[in-house]
Structure formats: C-alpha cells, structure tokens
Chain A
C-alpha cells in the first residue's frame, strides 16, 4: 500500500516536473509558518504513514514520513526510549517528515544532539521523481557522501522524504529542574561553566531574571549535581519545558499578541546578552536566543548582530510580507549560495519542490 503511495508520488512529481507545476509538501501543517511562503499544489505526506520497524536493543526506529510524531514518541516511551533532540511539535498532527525537513531541535539539543545528529538514513523522492535511499540503519556509515544529513533542514526543497531511520536513546533515569534568580549575563556564564564542569545539564531557559536548568541522567549524578548547584525547585517542570519547546511560554504568547516578528538567533554560547537587540529568552546554554522585534525593524541589522555573535539570525515567525521582504534565513556568501543552487539543480532542476521556501530562487 505504501509502495503504491510512493509510486503515486513519483508519478505525480514526474508530471509536475514536466509541466513545471510547483508542489507544496505538507504533513500536519504545524510548521507552515516556518520558512519563506511557498505556493503550489498540495502534496500531503500523511498517506505514507506508519512505524516500519522498531528494535529497542538496536536503538533504531524506522518510520514513514507521514507518521505522527506523537505516535513515535509514545512508542518509544513505552520502551523507555526517546528522541534525544526533543523536537517541537508546534501543534497537533506534527509528522516525522516535517520534523526532519524542518530540522528543528528542542531544549535538549546542546547535550542530546540535533535532528541531523540522530538521523541514520532516509528515503526521498527527488524532483525527477526518483526514489533515492541514503544512509541506513547502522550507527556508523561513511559509504558515499552524507546525503542523509543534507535532507535534514532542507525544508523539502531537495525531495519529498518518504521514510526515516532514527537513532533513539534510553530516557534518562532521573530528571530534576532547578531555578536561580540572576541577570542574563550571569545566567550565560553559569550555564557554560556548569557544562564545562561536566554537570548533567539537559536544558536551560533564562527569561526576566530567572534561570531554569534541567538536569538529567543516572540518579546519583542528578542528586549530586542538585547539591552542587543549589537553586530552588520548580513546580510542573515537565509542562514548563514543554511550554518552552512548543513556544506556548508567556514570552512567546505575549509577543505573539503584539504583531511583532519573532527572531531566532543561533549564536556562540558565551555571547553577551547586550548587543543582540533587546530582551531575549535564552536557551541551549546561551547558544539560542529568541527575540521579538517590530516588523518594521531593519532585518540586516538583526542579522549583523547575530553574525557578530558568531552565528546567524532566522526570521522565525512573521507575516508573509515580512518574510518575503527579508527572507527567513540569513543570506549566504556567494560561493556557498552557488553550491546551494547547483545542489538544487541536481535534485530538483524544475524547481517544483517547495519553491523559494528556503531561499528565494531555490
């Protein structure tokens, strides 16, 4: 049945390529806000769903792209495992394909790895309608270029993902969240210092004078770290971290009401708070800064500040008009952009797959 679905997509993509009809690839539609606006006939990936294989002792799960993320997480939880990159859902109905194509990781990312770090292999139908299989189900594989990771975060612009093999990890035996009252720069300094000392951090969030830190690991390690760090306990820690991951936390909810644009600044972890353009919610031990800015702000300025902090700025949430005007993602230096164009020309020469969503012209 699924083979039929994939064959159907192949036919459809071949026809679309011949007719130069753009296709918009959609799973649960939960991340439609992310990336540049794209237009096209809908290609719904949810017809290709289901967990194909899951062997806990192998730490590997293989599932079709349209499989609901919630289903995968439940299946893993039942076996005491998890997706270590803690992906945001951003709404009910998020699918695995969307998670991989968007390449977004949650609070655990600096310690547990990113989506790209835990994807072992995938199948994809490219813009020629060809079904390609890259990587595999094993932990180590250096045969051929790493086209698997190339698809992670490509936002569907190189192909429609049909199936993914993921590395899973055991859920830490113990979790604890502690809170500290401090300034932003103290929070940045402390979290980096704790990481450098090998304390078992698994998430951090600083906002308006409060730093929350999650510790995860074997019980003795967590207990000892709590003793070392001090701080106060946090109620409903699980829902707190979910609110950070899903952006339902007050910082996000309040900002959304103003009509401002949400910027995601991915920067060097020790970059100071000042100089990035205002109040931030700080995650990832300092490496991720969320910032609301008026839609009228000069995007180049925000991007320049992020570049000075050795990173880059993404226009994460904003109106279609704002994202079209500034581009969602930081522009690339010319030689890198040229490589992007050639890769797009290889996988999707008719530019039918999620046209412009990553960069205008791709």
Chain B
C-alpha cells in the first residue's frame, strides 16, 4: 500500500470511487492476460479526464512513485503487470468516441474505447477501423497503440502504427504532447511511430485519432485443406509470390482445427494436416477475380480440398474457429502458452517441422494457429502447470522456438510485445549497443524512469548476467526466467 499522505493526495485529485487500494478491489488488476505473473499494486487509479491524469503524474513524479498504465488488461506479455511500490493508472474510464469525420475518414477516440466499438460506431458511415486483434471485443485502442497490435486483416491493411494519425499523451512530468496530427506526416522525428509498441514506457496516451477505411462491399473466404503442413506453408509463399495480397491469410494445424471444431462446429476438414483461410475483399468483380486466382494457386500447391464461402454466414463460420482458437485450446488443456515469433515466410516449412520434432522431444503437444501471411507464428504449447517440470519444459520449448525465429532472421515478438515475459529473449535478439539505445530512448521521454519501469527493455546488467548477448545458431541459454 502507498503511504497515507500520498494516498490522500492522489485521491484528492480523483472523483469518488476512483482510488482503489483495498486488496479485494485491486485484485483484478494483479495481472494482465499473462496470468503467470502477478503483483499487488500500491493502488489503482481510475481517472476520467486528462487533467486528472496530469495531476496524478505530477504527484507521482514528485514523489518518485512508479506508474503502470493499463488499458483493458488483455496484454499477453505482462506489460500491465503492476509494480509493487507503484500505482496502476487505468484508462478504462476514458471510454468515449469523441468524433467521427466520415469525409476525412478519421475518428477521435479516448484510449479506453474498445477496438471493436470503433468499427461499430463507424459502421453507420460505411467505414471501419482495420486492425482487428482477436481480442478486439475486449482490448482497448490505447493498449493497441502501446503494443502496436496486429490482427487478421493487417496483411493488407497494416498494423496499428499504419492506422493511427495522431496520439495525444501526457509525459511523466505532466506535460501534454501530441505526436502526429490530422495530416499525413508531422515535422521532426517520427515520435508517433516511436510511441507505437512503447508498452506504456514513454507517455500515457489520452487521445487517439485513427484512420478509418471504407467497408469493402464484399468479403469472401477460401478454406483450403492440406495433407501436409509444409505444403500449406509453401502455399502461403506461393500466394504472395503470385502478386496477391489477400485481406487475410491464416493457418491452423490439425491439433488446432480439432480443438476448435469441438468448440465451434464449423465443419473443418479434420483429416487435414493443415487448413488455410484466405480472405478476399473488394467489389464483387474484384473478389471473384481474386478468389479464382487464389484457388488456382492453392490447387497447384497441392490443396486436397477447397471451399469458398457462399454467403456472409458461411464466411463467419469459416473464421469462427480461427477467432476462437485460444479459448478452444484452453478447453482441451489445463494451461497453454502462446508464443509470438515472426519469421520470413520462406522459413515456414522449416520452422514448422522443427516445432513438430521438439514437441515430441519435450513431450508437450503444440497447436499452431497463426497469421501465416505475415509469418507471425502463434504456437500454443499445451501443458499442465500442476504437473512437476511441465512449466519448465514449456518455457524451454518456447525459448527454443524464439531462438529459432531469431536464427532464421525473424523476431521474438510480432505483436504481443516484450512486457516482462520476453526480457531475456531481448538479450538474444539485440546486442548491447542497440539495447543501450532503447534505454536512452526511454530516458529521452522519461528521464526519471517512472513510467512502467522494468518492462520492454532489459537492463544491460540482466543480459550480462545471463551471458546472452546476441546469441547465434539457436544457442539461447535457458536461463531460469523469473516467472516460475
């Protein structure tokens, strides 16, 4: 708990019931979507206005109290994990869509607005917000900016960073800043890009202008079955190589389709080793044209079955399993651990083959569900934390996958962020010089180091300790991670 004087100063700037410090009240804030890490915060603050955020930050800055910004708490890397000596600053009450400009195709929203709510509000104008994380019914747009989140449609429409024009925020000192504007660029360094994926370390986001896209008149989905995972991987490269950039290009392996089929009853071909979902959108003519091309490529890549959605109901049915993959896997296994590496598409067959081999080696089942078009893998390692040694083996397996991602020229996180989870892997992906730059960028915004300390960038001491500087050839040290 915070000291009494500080607690009363903070509650004085907040509306009633917006300062929580009773253990039962702060418990829901002990973790984010990565439940393996938990911490009791000193207090949870729920401001409603930017002036209150400014006041909170000024008080905390003066008192040298760490501040952990939080959106909806769906993050998967522990980015919103509380600091024991600090406060959680929840933006949940910043939940208003301030304006929509249908002609300019922009919306001004508060950070606590749910991702999907933007598209729902824009639908009246035939517009939508393109990036669509699977968590879109719950996650906040502020969290999306802080993580630079992606989704199924990002292959064609870009990530969060490509769909945000302006971010307004408050620095730890209480200074209000704006990155970007209503135009298509801004003078000076691209701080708008820098704040994307900054995991709450640079500024507290209080307002966002997003770009909206016209809703395509038609979307259709092709479901293709393959008797071999590597063939499916090669088909992905073949589609891109044919000059087609589909609206979505996702893959599920057999373990995943079997898990989701029990859950959603979408009629997936369960005998298939892998299933690809390829979405096409645009005018009916465009879609017909693209679907024909995609089908041709899939056939010559060895698809054993191709289904084309006949109507919107069936399209959504095809997607239902992909969207519900996480909860479905959650039903068949007591615990699962989601890996988020990205690799060059050409490495897909190799990486999938290795994951399969390691799955046998570690005795841990692994379901693959991922953004294949972007090369963004989400192997879900199934385990039971109550069984001795399984959690440790899971971590070792996961680390090995991430090391492989680095080795083939990829990255340890495509969209879920580093948080506290991947701090050790950061030591493998980056050299000391790059890490020192990241730390310096952090202090350029927050010299006091009070905004979400200990996240996203490991200290150089940590990397030195594990001896994990820039490891090549997959020789990532399996140092004990702090979470177990």
Contacts and interface: CB of A to CB of B under 8 A. Distances in A.
User: Interface size bucket, A side?
Assistant: 35 or more
Nearest to B183: A311
Interface in B295-339: none
Given A169-B245, A220-B289, A146 B414 contact: no
Interface string A274-301: 0000000000100110000000000000
A332 B437 contact: no
Contact of B187 (A114, A143, A192, A332): A332
A312 B187 contact: yes
A157 to B, nearest CB: 8
B437 A55 contact: no
Interface in B42-57: none
A137 B457 CA distance: 21
A198 B217 contact: yes
B484 to A, nearest CB: 22
Contact of A142 (B238, B241, B414, B441): B414
B216 A198 contact: yes
A149 B193 contact: yes
A139 B374 contact: yes
Interface string B119-136: 000000111000000000
A12 interface: no
Contact of B286 (A131, A217, A340, A359): A217
A22 interface: no
Contact of B103 (A55, A56, A196, A198): A196
Interface stretch (A43-51, A57-65, A247-255): A57-65
A86 to B, nearest CB: 13
B161 interface: yes
A134 B435 CA distance: 10
A170 interface: yes
Given A198-B217, A221-B285, A144 B243 contact: no
A212 B458 CA distance: 52
Interface residues of B, number: 99
A56 B244 CA distance: 12
Given A60-B344, A142-B147, A336-B188, A287 B183 contact: yes
Interface in B130-175: 147-148, 150, 154-155, 158-159, 161-162, 171, 173, 175
A110 B240 CA distance: 23
A360 to B, nearest CB: 13
B400 interface: no
A316 to B, nearest CB: 12
Interface string B180-203: 011111111111011011100010
Contacts of B186: 266, 312
A221 B283 CA distance: 7
A138 B375 contact: yes
B240 A113 contact: no
A219 to B, nearest CB: 7
A70 interface: no
A153 B190 contact: yes
Nearest to A267: B183
B37 interface: no
Interface stretch (A87-95, A238-246, A341-349): A341-349
27 contacts: A55-B344, A56-B241, A57-B237, A58-B240, A58-B345, A109-B184, A114-B185, A117-B162, A137-B409, A138-B374, A140-B376, A142-B197, A143-B425, A143-B429, A146-B148, A146-B197, A147-B194, A171-B243, A192-B105, A196-B127, A217-B286, A269-B182, A269-B184, A288-B184, A330-B187, A335-B173, A346-B444
In order of increasing CB-CB distance, the 7 nearest A-B pairs are A220-B285, A311-B183, A149-B193, A198-B214, A310-B182, A57-B241, A170-B243
